[in-house]
Each structure stands twice: as C-alpha cells, then as structure tokens.
Copies of this chain bind each other. A is one copy, B any other.
Amino acid sequence: MSITVVGSVALDTVYTPFGQAQDALGGSASYFATAASLYDDVNLVGVVGEDFPQEHLSFLRTRSAGLGSLQVAPGKTFRWGGRYAPDMNTRETLYTELGVFAEFQPSLPVAYGRAEVVFLANIHPALQLDVLQQTEGGGAKLRALDTMNLWIETTHDALTEVLRKVDVVMIAEEEARQYADTPNLRTAARTILELGPKILVIKQGPYGSLLMGADGSYFVAPSYPIEEVRDPTGAGDAFAGGFLGYLATRLRSGHELAPADYQRGLVHGNILGSFACEDFSVGKLKEVTAADIAGRYQKCVSFTHFEAAWSAGKSTAATA
C-alpha cells in the first residue's frame, strides 16, 4: 500500500521578509513526500543532478519507501530562485535553471505503478499523461494532479487530455478561472468537473480550500491560522501530501472513499500546508509528528464548528 508521486526535486533559493534560504531542498515532489510520508509509504519519482547534496538524498530516503526512481543524471539539479513581496502574496522569480529536469522522462518501477494513490505534481501535462499510462492496470484507486498557469497558457490541450483521466484535480483559484476563461469560480469548477474528475479541490492560498464534487457536493475548509508565514513555497504540495496522505490511510483500511473522507482530507491538507509555511524549505514539515497534526485537527474543529440548531425570524428567534 503506497502513494506514488511524480514531480520536481529542486534546490531553491528564497528571499522573504523573514530571511533567506540558499540552495535549500525544494521541488513539488520533495514537499509532497515530506508531508504524505506522515500518513503512508511514498514512492518518489524524480530526477536530480550529480550536484545534489548527500544530506538531501539522505533526508528523502527517510521519507520514501525507496528512492528507486529518483534518477541521478549527469548535469545540474533543477534550481529556482524567488523573492516574496512584503505582504507575502506575490513573488518574483529570480531565475529558473531546469538543468537535468529539462530532459526528465519518468519511468516507474512496476511496484510503483501498483500504488493505491498516484499524485502527478506540477509537471508538463505530457509527462503526467505518460505516468498515468504507466500506472494503467496497476490498481490505482485515486489519481490526482496539480498544475500551474504555465501549462494552462502553453499546453492547454494536453492539460485537458490529462484532466479527463484523473479522479482528483487540485488547482489554485486563479488558475481554475484562467483555465475555464471565466471570472465566475462556480462556472470554472463546472467546466473542469464536466471533463470527468470526481473531485475538484480549489486552493485559495491564505484563505483555505474548497472541495467540489461532480455530484454537486460542496465543502469549505478555512486555512489553519499561523502566527507568521515565513515562506509559503511548497505549501500547495504539502497540502496535496496531507490531503492524499489521509485518503491513502482510508483506502488502506479498506474503506470506499466517502464525502466525509474527502472533507477530513481537506482539513489535513490545510494543516500540512500551514506547517510548510512556518519555515523555509521543509524545515518545519520534517519535524512534524502525528500528535502535532492531531492537535491542529482539533483546533480546526473548534474554529469552524458552530451550533447547528437555530430557528429564524423575529417571532421565533427569542426561543432559539
């Protein structure tokens, strides 16, 4: 029983009002694996260059069932540099050096193709599609993907093709609107769900996340409030790790996934996203324990649940 993730492993240099990190462990697959491995075994499929530091390899080894598919290729590791504005809501990309990631061709060991949960992190839709084909017949029960504005703009048709083949789509609010070319989020959601996914997760950054089902269901999980956002890089991937990680535990225990599972998964996603924001790189995430998650889960209950009984109106309100 396991989760297979395909995505980037990178060295990030990040500047925020709270400090900076130089060539720190980054990339969608790194954040995802660090979070999801708190719930289930993770198979990481990615590529790094020969310059990738041994300490990061060692760390990823502790968070992956095996690194059999973390290729070490001749050349340099994917590097990204960014600087966040004082309000932390916008960031400027300083450089993107794809290195060995430019030629990344994911190749899954047979065992990885058998994972119950497959997460296609934010990579070229053609690669996402290729990975999906490698898992066909493998018994995956949940196929999820993330994407970004670059692919919406440059590879719209390929993205549409892969959207048709997954169970869960996780996408930022602005990107959902951009993909569907409408300012109306509900219209955008319907456009995506009509392609075939059962579940659409809309990521709303500091506000939390929405769950919309092809069956018309709707659920909102506000973000877990933290004192200071030190570095939001990777929060979306950590969110995916919490969400899919929790769902993997439900599948592992033999449950068919029900609406209540997706709802709790969304809360786990927000919690892991909140940990990701509290330090640079995976600094905080790697120290998180199951008890930490459980503590935040109970707080999420307390700040979202209210008394369900209420009778309305001037005439009856006095008896409420």
Q: Which residues of A contact B (CB under 8 A)?
A: 38-40, 86-88, 183-184, 186, 204, 207-208, 218-222, 225, 227-228, 246, 249-250, 252-253, 260, 263-264, 266-267, 289-291, 293-294, 297-298, 301, 303-308, 310-320
User: Beyond A40-B314, A290-B313, A318-B252, is A307–B227 a contact (Cβ under 8 Å)?
Assistant: no
A-B contact pairs, 5 of them (CB 8 A): A218-B303, A249-B320, A290-B313, A290-B314, A294-B310
Measured CB to CB, the closest approach of chain B to A140, in angstroms, equals 19
Q: Are B183 and A86 in contact (CB under 8 A)?
A: yes
The docked-state distance in angstroms from the alpha carbon of A314 to that of B246 is: 9
Identical copies of this chain, number: 2
Q: Are B253 and A183 in contact (CB under 8 A)?
A: no
Residues of chain B within 8 A (CB-CB) of A263 are 306-307
Residues of chain B within 8 A (CB-CB) of A311 are 294
Q: Are B267 and A306 in contact (CB under 8 A)?
A: yes
Residues of chain B within 8 A (CB-CB) of A208 are 207, 220, 222
Q: Are A39 and B317 in contact (CB under 8 A)?
A: yes
Q: Are A297 and B318 in contact (CB under 8 A)?
A: no
Partner of A303, one of B220, B228, B308: B220
Residues of chain B within 8 A (CB-CB) of A184 are 228
Measured CB to CB, the closest approach of chain B to A32, in angstroms, equals 16
Residues of chain B within 8 A (CB-CB) of A221 are 306
Partner of A249, one of B207, B220, B317: B317
Q: Are B225 and A222 in contact (CB under 8 A)?
A: no
- A40, A186, A228, A314: most-surrounded residue (chain B CB, <10 A): A314
Q: Are A314 and B38 in contact (CB under 8 A)?
A: yes
